[in-house]
Structure 1
Amino acid sequence: MGVTFVEGAARVRVPATSANLGPGFDSLGLALGLHDDVAAWATDRGWHVDVFGEGAGELPTGADHLVAKAMAATFERLGGAPPGVAVECVNRIPQARGLGSSSAAIVAGVQLARALVRDGTTILDDAAALALAAELEGHPDNVAPCLLGGFVIAWTDAGVARAVRLEPAARVRPTVFIPTDRGLTAEARAALPATVPHHDAAFTAGRAALLVHALTRAPDLLFPATADRLHQHYRAPAMPAAAALVDELRGRGVAAVVSGAGPAVLALTRPPDDLDVGIDWRQVELAIDVAGARIGSGRLGHAERAPVAAGRKS
């Protein structure tokens, strides 16, 4: 018995994410209040993707678009795909900056495919959706907060991604610093050594544990809790501007880290008002997204197809 596709369009809103958060390498992630909106519906005319906002004119517009690839992989798990799918993406999450744009695209594709198949969220439940999204992304620390919202601890057990969502403290108000330059996750990972000194690993494990407490119960501890000796200094030569900004912020008592693989920078405590980041950076204060990927119905409206990108703090 084949799958049945629903009539009309499904839509999803997916948040930006910041992973690692300093000492939580490949395990901790935070959902941020900056979103991509994506809609899709089944057709009989192959795959077509319209992109508005970030990545417009650069990203693929056919079956090789990341949202389409994620949808195709999910349809396969669900038992069948329609002849074609039309997709429209309104992107506000900056591309290749360490803010989870690829994870947002993957999660959007997984959620849209589940929504377009009748009983799709039952056939492929939330745990299986997380496992598939992490499989497509390669690791779970961005896709998990994108799916679940809030502050997430993610891990892999016997090759299957798992995650728990924790409620962040209300006083935590992130600020992101978004550079004009882009980065590549593969290059950032290539900079990491095969081994690290035991004392650095022990130091970072302790700070990661402290960060869970600081983000959920005791924001006054965020500065010591975001100290890291596992990955950021190894990556610094490849992103000197980001490393310099982190050093400047931490030198002024701000709980700052490289966001994901960079080169964006995340501050979890308020930066000083007299900070001047120059024209190469956008400074944006964001809420923490507590809802995660939200599925709805219908195409995106005209106003929604005119995205407002993250801008400089006023």
Structure 2
Amino acid sequence: MPRVRVPATTANLGPGFDALGLALELYDYVSIEEAPELEITVQGEGENSIPRGPDNIAYRAAAAVYARVGRKVPGFKIAFENHIPVARGLGSSAAAVVAGLVGANALLGYPLPQEELVSLAARLEGHPDNVAPALLGGLVVVVLNGQQVYYQRLDPPPGLSLQVAIPHFTLSTRVSRGVLPAMVPVEDAVFNLSRTALLIAAAQAGDLELMGKAMEDRLHQPYRLRLIPGMPYVFEAALKAGALAVTLSGSGPAVIAFCRGSLPKVGKAMKEAFEEHGVKCEVKELKPASQGAILC
């Protein structure tokens, strides 16, 4: 019975909206095997909210692999042991999709190459900036062009540490994307394009200071302010405490501070700023995950 370990992810990294993702050392574990009928169990994060029927996204992913290779879709027994908070911007749904794909591919003897798993994951999830690093690990640049996915994986720069403030409320991607404008000024588009390019160059060079300077955004974070109480104050507190940069993690509400080495005072400052605005949260110190989904 395959047991898949899948990392959490943080998408966008500020300016790289829908194009950048980073795997994190926080994991879900999903076991999958064929069974006479569908049986899903969940322990940990999301145990009271994750669907147990055919709408479960790990099941849908596993079924997609079987259908892709022309095999009849069986029932499955799927067991989740979840540590990634659900609907907080840390890639929990991407992790479930990837676990279903990798587990089903293993059950069938690995008929699908990695490239096809990335493509299937992007179609199922809709946003490849989470599923690509969940599959591949590291820092991933990804482009969805119709049905084709182009991507490049990079090793995370050494010395990077992350303080993650995770509010005790959920925020769906649908709601968070719903506040974004259909059109943006050209100068804002150029602002983000230039910083995304600089961010990738700095990451490749291992220049954490320059990475931090490149992680500004005008395309999505300003529009999401009203969805996350105290967000600008949390950003300010993280920077004053020594963070190189601070961004929303994916569509939020988690806020992630990028630091040189371990800086727990940054996490403490973010937590205090959230609580001053009536938001309880927990803080995790994480590192980038070089390894994506694996069987364990």
Q: TM-score, normalised by structure 2?
A: 0.91
In the other structure, the counterpart of 1:172 is: 160
Distance (whole Å) between structure 2 residues aligned to residue 195 and residue 276 of structure 1: 31
State the 4+ residue runs in structure 1 displaced beyond 4 angstroms: none
For residues 9-63 of structure 1, what are the alpha-carbon distances to aligned partners after superposition, in whole Å with 9 as ceiling and x for unaligned?
111100000000000000000000000000111122x111110000113222232
Contact residue 42 and residue 82 of structure 1 kept, 8 A: no
Q: Does 1:69 align with 2:60?
A: yes
Contact residue 3 and residue 31 of structure 2 kept, 8 A: yes
1:239: Cα distance to partner? 1.5
For residues 229-261 of structure 1, what are the alpha-carbon distances to aligned partners after superposition, in whole Å with 9 as ceiling and x for unaligned?
111001111223334312332355520000000
Report SS of the residue matched to 1:277. helix
In the other structure, the counterpart of 1:103 is: 94
User: 1:148-297 to 2 correspondence within 5 Å?
Assistant: 148-216=136-204, 217-250=206-239, 254=243, 255-269=245-259, 271=263, 273=265, 275=269, 277-278=271-272, 280-296=280-296
Q: Does 1:117 align with 2:98?
A: no
Distance (whole Å) between structure 2 residues aligned to residue 295 and residue 165 of structure 1: 20
Distance (whole Å) between structure 2 residues aligned to residue 15 and residue 180 of structure 1: 21
Contact residue 130 and residue 162 of structure 1 kept, 8 A: no
Alignment-mate amino acid for residue 11 of structure 1: R
Report SS of the residue matched to 1:99. coil
Report SS of the residue matched to 1:244. helix
Contact residue 237 and residue 269 of structure 2 kept, 8 A: no
Alignment-mate amino acid for residue 32 of structure 1: L
Report SS of the residue matched to 1:234. helix
1:276: Cα distance to partner? 5.9
1:82: Cα distance to partner? 4.8
For residues 60-87 of structure 1, what are the alpha-carbon distances to aligned partners after superposition, in whole Å with 9 as ceiling and x for unaligned?
2232222111111221112114531111
In the other structure, the counterpart of 1:93 is: 84
Report SS of the residue matched to 2:269. coil
Contact residue 34 and residue 77 of structure 2 kept, 8 A: yes
Contact residue 11 and residue 249 of structure 2 kept, 8 A: yes
Aligned-residue CA RMSD in angstroms?
A: 1.6
Aligned length, in residue pairs: 284
In the other structure, the counterpart of 1:33 is: 25
Contact residue 241 and residue 269 of structure 2 kept, 8 A: no
- Change over 3 Å in CA distance of 1:54–1:83 after alignment to 2: same
Distance (whole Å) between structure 1 residues aligned to residue 230 and residue 70 of structure 2: 47
Distance (whole Å) between structure 1 residues aligned to residue 147 and residue 208 of structure 2: 33
Distance (whole Å) between structure 1 residues aligned to residue 112 and residue 282 of structure 2: 39
For residues 97-124 of structure 1, what are the alpha-carbon distances to aligned partners after superposition, in whole Å with 9 as ceiling and x for unaligned?
0000000000001111101113xx2x32
1:10 corresponds to which of 2, 8, 18? 2
In the other structure, the counterpart of 1:304 is: none
Distance (whole Å) between structure 2 residues aligned to residue 214 and residue 284 of structure 1: 25
Report SS of the residue matched to 2:201. helix
Higher helix share: 2
Q: TM-score, normalised by structure 1?
A: 0.86
Report SS of the residue matched to 2:165. strand
Q: Does 1:139 align with 2:127?
A: yes
Alignment-mate amino acid for residue 88 of structure 2: R
Most deviating of 169-178 and 60-69: 60-69
Distance (whole Å) between structure 2 residues aligned to residue 246 and residue 183 of structure 1: 18
For residues 187-211 of structure 1, what are the alpha-carbon distances to aligned partners after superposition, in whole Å with 9 as ceiling and x for unaligned?
1111111111111111111111111
Distance (whole Å) between structure 1 residues aligned to residue 183 and residue 270 of structure 2: 37
